[in-house]
Amino acid sequence: MLEKLTNRTVIGIYGEDRETLLQGIISNNILKNEPCIYTLILTPQGKFLFDLFIYKRHDHMLVDCLASTKDDLLKRLKMYKLRSKVEIQDLSEIYKVYFADQPVLAQQSYLDPRTNSGYRIITEASLEVNDNFYQEFRINQVLPESETELICDKTFPLEYGLDYLNAIDFTKGCYVGQELTARTKHRGVIRKQPFLIKAQGVLEPAQEIMDEHGNKLGYITSSFNNKAIGFIRLEELAQAQQVLVNGMQIEVIRPEWLK
């Protein structure tokens, strides 16, 4: 199965200072000996700005980002660049991003580092797409993404479990937003989390998740037919006898990666 991710695009980062530049900005450790990492750029207050996949090539890096925020990302990277020996290029007209259940191009297929399931493919080639499965895959895996779950300048990454999805390295040095993120982790106080929601009927984004008394527990962020990602307050969920969406009783399942 192979799908083109039309909402993602690619930026290139070149130059001898590329790792140093990124290391001070992103939440993960660019120095890891891994061909692909998943990471975030945060505000100084520790709120979400961008989610990125960074692919290491021989003399440069490719950054897979949300297409609608590409220009904002380019501006931010150039703002942090200062006098670094780095060149940043918009490669959106050259590279395409695909997702597959198996590696398609050996040198251009990368195991998705969030749950080590599925492959992201960065290529100049136009591949023959034979399926439309990524949204269902993402919801079954409960993988939060930009715009739907991760809201710019609002979302705190630990509430969506992004530390469990290999987006944050708590042992690396300082980066923008590091102090508040580390403090939240050490306090261990997380009040809301994402869950897989299953129902007998069709689910829709923005539907409210209620208990048997009509109290709101959370809401749906993304859906695919009768499955969805729900963002739910933990204390209220623990007290609920029934959990409902639009009058339908639903099943609430904690993601495997969060157990």
- Domain boundaries along the sequence of the chain: 2-187, 192-253
Residue 15 phi, psi dihedral angles, 5° rounding: 110, 160
Question: Would you state the structure tokens that stand for residue 247, as one six-digit string?
Answer: 């009058």
Q: Tens of pLDDT along 56-97?
A: 999 999 999 999 999 999 999 999 998 899 999 999 999 999
CB of 195 within 8 A of CB of 156?
Answer: no
Q: How confident is the model at residue 130 (pLDDT cuts 50, 70, 90)?
A: confident
CB of 51 within 8 A of CB of 157?
Answer: no
The number of residues making up the chain comes to 259
Identify the architecture of domain 2-187 in CATH. 2-Layer Sandwich (3.30)
How far lies 24's CA from each of 41, 59, 80, 228, 258, in Å?
10, 19, 9, 35, 27
Residue 27's closest CA among 58, 61, 50? Answer: 50
Q: Tens of pLDDT along 177-227?
A: 999 999 999 998 899 999 999 999 999 999 999 999 999 999 999 999 999
Q: Tens of pLDDT along 18-54?
A: 999 999 999 999 999 999 999 999 999 999 999 999 9
How far lies 68's CA from each of 6, 60, 73, 92, 138, in Å?
10, 23, 10, 11, 19
Q: Phi-psi region for residue 162, left (φ > 0), alpha (ψ -120 to 50) or beta?
A: alpha
**Structure confidence at residue 107 (pLDDT):** 78
Question: Would you state the structure tokens that stand for residue 109, as one six-digit string?
Answer: 């297929």
Amino acid, single-letter form, for residue 116: N
pTM of the entire structure?
0.94
Could you tell me which CATH number the domain at 192-253 has?
2.40.30.110
Whether the domain at 2-187 and the domain at 192-253 fall into the same CATH topology: no
User: What's the rounded Cα separation, in Å, for the pair 141 and 127?
Assistant: 25
DSSP single-letter state for residue 159: G
Rg (alpha carbons) of the chain, rounded to whole number? 19
